[in-house]
Structures are given as C-alpha cells and as structure tokens.
Chain A
Amino acid sequence: MQFWATVLLDGLTYASYLFIVSLGLTIIFGVMKILNVAHGSFYAWGAYTAAFAIGFITDNDLSEALFLPAILISAILVGVVLGYIIERFILRKMYNQDIHLIVLATFGVFLIFEDLIIITFGVDPYLPYQPAMMLGWIDIVGLNRGVYQLTLILLASIVAFVCWYGLTKTKWGKLLQSVIYDREISVAMGIDVTKVYVVTFIGGAILGALGGAYVAPTTSVSPGFAIDLVVLSFAVVVIGGMGSIPGALIGSLIVGILRAFAVHQAPILELFVVFAVMAIVLIIRPEGLFAPPKPRKI
C-alpha cells in the first residue's frame, strides 16, 4: 500500500510539470503543426531566470512573499521574449516548408539557446531551494514530502482548468479550436491566422517556461537541464495525441506514473519503459490516444 501511495504521489508530481510543459508543446503542434524542439529552451530559460530571481531575492534579504511572483514573472518574461523572437525571426519564414526542416530549425534554435545559457548564467549549477525550504515538509499517508512539490500538482490542476475553461467557454478559445481543426477554413472565415500563431506560440512558450520556473526550486539547475525533458515531453505528446489537450493530460499521467513506478521498482527500466510505451502507441494508434478528430475531406 505504501509502495502504491509513493508511486501515485511521485507520479503525480512528475506528471504535473510534464503536463504544464507538454501542454504548451501540444498546443503549438495542434495549431501550427510544428514539433517545437526549442520548447526545451523555454523550460531551461524559465528555470534559470527563476533561479536567478530567487537568488537575487535571497541575497538582498527581500520578502519571501516575492518568490511566487518572481517565478511567475520569470515564466511570462521568458515566454514572451523568447517566444516572440523565435516565432518572428525563424518560424514565420518557414511555414510553407517541409515539416522535417522546421523541426530541424527548432533543433538548431534549441542548440543556440543552450549555449546562450552558459554565456548568460555561467556553467555552475544554481540551487534555488529557498521557496521549497520556506514551505517545509508534510506527512501524507505516511510519506514525507515537501509541500512545494504538492503545490506543483495544484499548479498543474489550475493550468488544466484555466485551459479547459479558456478553450471551451471563451471566444478566443473557440477561435483556437477552429484553427486547430482546419486552418484553411479558418482563414476563409476571416480569422487572422498569423496573429493566432504568434499568440499561440508565445502562450505555449510561457507554459514551457512556467514548468521550468516552478520546478527550479526542487532541483539543481545546470546546463543540459532540458535535454532529457525535451524528449520526455515528446513522448507525452505522442502518447496523448499530437495537438490534443486532454491527450497531454493523460499522456503526462501515464508517463509520470510509469516513471515513478520504474524508479521505485525497477530503476533499470526508468527510461526504457516510457519510450517503449511511446513506440507501442505509435505502432497501434499513431495519432495518439486522444487524437483530435480528423474530418474526411472528399
């Protein structure tokens, strides 16, 4: 019982930041049909910026209440700035090109931004543990876990809810769904698809950065931080269905819990099992478990 509680709890924690990050990735794919490798850059830069901000607050003895705003603002800042730069100067020139080239271009961008991290923040790891420390520990079903990690789950839930509400109940959300469904018709209906693309990309970037920023206090932030995560979020998105938001949720849960299970039961399987599931889903149902409906044209 203890074992399953551990797996569930840790699994939910992994799933939470995976979800926040993958949500951005899947929305970008759904709207723009681009598999954005540079998503890892948003994650990494979000984490570094938050770490830097937390360090700044701590070093200058500022109020601890500033931690949360610092994290959120870091995420938004990174998302807007990096997101805009990448969309405007790279992606916008490539929308008609072969999808492989677009993916490779985003890979190139990712590599560049990886090195920019080293130039900007240096090679030494950052350990912005202060917010986590501040919230302390708690005992849940006999397990001792940091409260901060639990708030991660809360954050993911909030993001999920806001997303659901935004997409189904607001005008903007309906617009987005229309573009995901069929770009051509959306253009014909007068939707400014370019604007939708920019806003989507920046939105997705903010989510990616938020994942990184919020996770930073629980770990050590160092170069190469994002490499494993990039490919894990790909797995999530593929399993759930590229472009599907409920898919990102289920995909994250599956990957998160599988990982937690492997870590506690058979560490040798930790990476293997996630990608094995990814391969199996691709073989059985390439569009993913929750692929958005594809209308038959003609």
Chain B
Amino acid sequence: MFTGIFKDTSVRILITFMIVLCILSSFVLPDWMQNNFMYGLSRGLAILGLMLLWRTNLVSFGHALYYGFGAYAVALCQKYFGITDILLRFAIAVIAAGILGFCLGFILRKYREIFFAMLSLAFSMVLYGLLAKAEFLGSTDGMSISPSTLFGMELTRQYLFYLITFFVICAAISIQAYLRSTLGHLTTAIQDNEIRVEYLGYSVQKAIHIKYVMSACLAGGAGGLMAASLGQVDPDSMVNWNVSGELVFITIMSGWGNILAPFIGAIIFEFIRTYAFEWAPQAWAAIVGGTLLTIIFFFPGGIWSVIEKVFNYGKKKDVK
C-alpha cells in the first residue's frame, strides 16, 4: 500500500515544508507565530478528514462531534487515569473518535446529501447538549488540561510542535496512500455513479463507512492535539454547531485538490484570525462570512485551485 509513497510529489513537499517549519520555529519564529502553526496544523487534520468526505460529495455539518470527542477523551483520560503522555493522548483521541465514527457510520452511510449533513449535525448537537449540561464535565466552562509529557519527561512547547508536525506527516502519508489506491478512487467514483460501483463488485456503503471512520479519526486526532496545545476544552469552542460550520468553512476555503490543501488553508485561517482580532475584533464573523461568500462565488476550488494555477502544479494524479 505504501510502496513508492515517498516518491509522491505532494508527500515530498509536505515533509520538506514540515522540516523547514521545525527549523524556523526552533530559531526564528516568535511564539505567537509558532502557536498559529501549531493550531493550523492540528486543525488541518480535521480539515483533511472533511476533505475526504467532500470528495464523495458528502459534507458533514457536525464534524465537531469527533473533534470535541477527541478533545474530551484526552481531558477525561487525564482526569480519571492521570494520562499526560502526548503519544498516548493522540492515540486515545484518534481511537475514541474512530470507535464513535465506526458506530455512527453504520447509520450515516445510508444517507446522502442534505440528510447526511443534517443527521451529522443532529448527532453533534446531541453531544453538545450532553456536554453543555453535564456538571461533572464542567458544563459550559469545560475542563482544563495540564501540559503533556513524553515518556515521563516534561514536554516543552517546542517539542510538542515537533511532534505535531510528525503526526501531520504520518496522517498525510496515510491519506495520500489511500487516495491513490483503488479504494480511494472508488469512493470518488461513488459520487459519479453508485450503481456502477456496486456492479463492479464493491459495496458502496462499506466504502463510505471506511472513509467516514478515517475522517472521524482525523478529526478526533485534531481535537486531541488542540486540547493538548490549548490546555483547555469546552463545548462551545469544540462541539457546537458553529465549530462544525467553521471546519466546513476552512475546508471550502482550502479546496479539495490535494493533501497539502487542508494544512495550507488551516494555517492561513489561523493567521487571518490573529490579524482580524488585532485590527477589527468585532468584525470576525463578518470576515469569515465574507470570505466564505467570496470563495463560493469566485474561487469554488478554494485556495488550492489558485495555487495550482499559479504554480502550474497538479500532475492530475488525483482523479476528480
């Protein structure tokens, strides 16, 4: 499955970019910038997950479910089991979200279009409703998370950064391997003609289910890393429907054309947010709304489509 993956252009660019980032962050980048990259890369994982779904013409309006679930899984494991190791935390977030995605996937894989979107929204709001009112989970105040450790040793922010880039590389490589595989092409073919896929011998629902679990794992991992980076989880910033909306917004803004797109888009989003809060703090929502409309009307392929044109990238290895 992974044969020759390191020859893939996108993978090479990603790894190079991550290495450069690590070097820059060790010596040059100011803290606030490093934070932006951290949050951008973490959130980028969730966006990658949403991008996967979008390539089968499925949009989840409730992906904050997994994002928040991963984050809360980390918080709870600390509270009840005292787990602070970052590797464990990431694994827990990914696996917890994956299990939830697996279970809900049985239901969701039967739906398409607006019903899929609404049902995912409903599920996420069920979780929100539970978390917002649950006293032992901190209700709307949420829970705090102490700094992570690695093999028992204290983990500095710098090393957390390195680890996040490492996780990103692992995830991106896996997804790229998936996308160029038969199964990956199949799920894009599903949005073209489901009947044909069935008659070629593969269960459409199973293919969608697998993809859904992958996207849940990615979103969960993102939530776990964000929790570790922020030191705090609460329902309104991680599970509510406008968080889901924000995730979808970044997905559209990034474009679906390449595994690099989600990370580029998510990082840009962080920077826009930083500047927006500095110069026009009241106008943040309007900026997001305006950008969303601009993308929809003028750049439907997202930022990636612009990059493709400018750099003449796109070897069209990805079937549409």
Contact = CB atoms under 8 A, between A and B. Distances in A.
Q: Give the interface SS of chain B, mostly helix, strand, loop or mixed.
A: helix
A103 B292 contact: no
Interface in B130-151: 130, 132-134
Q: Which of B130, B245, B292 has the most CB of A within 10 A?
A: B292
B107 interface: yes
Nearest to A108: B292
Interface string B283-319: 1111011111100110010000000000000000000
B111 interface: yes
A270 B288 CA distance: 30
Contact of B122 (A90, A99, A101, A235): A235
Interface residues of B, number: 42
Interface string A90-122: 100110001111011101111111111011000
Nearest to B123: A279
Given A111-B292, A279-B122, A103 B284 contact: no
Contacts of B297: 93
A119 B280 CA distance: 11
Contact of B118 (A109, A110, A282): A282
B131 to A, nearest CB: 9
A90 to B, nearest CB: 7
Given A105-B293, A231-B241, A267 B122 contact: no
A275 B129 contact: yes
B285 A99 contact: no
Contact of A111 (B111, B119, B282, B285): B285
Contact of B128 (A114, A116, A271): A271
Contact of B282 (A93, A119, A231): A119
Contacts, number: 120
B128 A111 contact: no
A118 B293 contact: no
Nearest to A268: B133
Interface in A264-288: 267-276, 278-279, 282-283, 286
Contacts of B118: 234, 238, 278, 282
Q: Is the interface of A mostly helix, strand, loop or mixed?
A: helix
Contact of A115 (B115, B123, B133, B286): B286
Interface string B102-122: 000001000101110111011
Contacts of B269: none
Contacts of B284: 115
13 contacts: A101-B296, A104-B249, A104-B292, A107-B249, A111-B285, A112-B285, A112-B290, A114-B286, A118-B282, A272-B126, A272-B133, A279-B122, A279-B123
Interface of A: 35, 90, 93-94, 98-101, 103-105, 107-116, 118-119, 123, 227, 230-231, 234-235, 238, 242, 267-276, 278-279, 282-283, 286
- Please list the 3 inter-chain residue pairs (A to B) with the smallest Cβ-Cβ separation, ordered nearest first: A271-B129, A111-B289, A272-B129
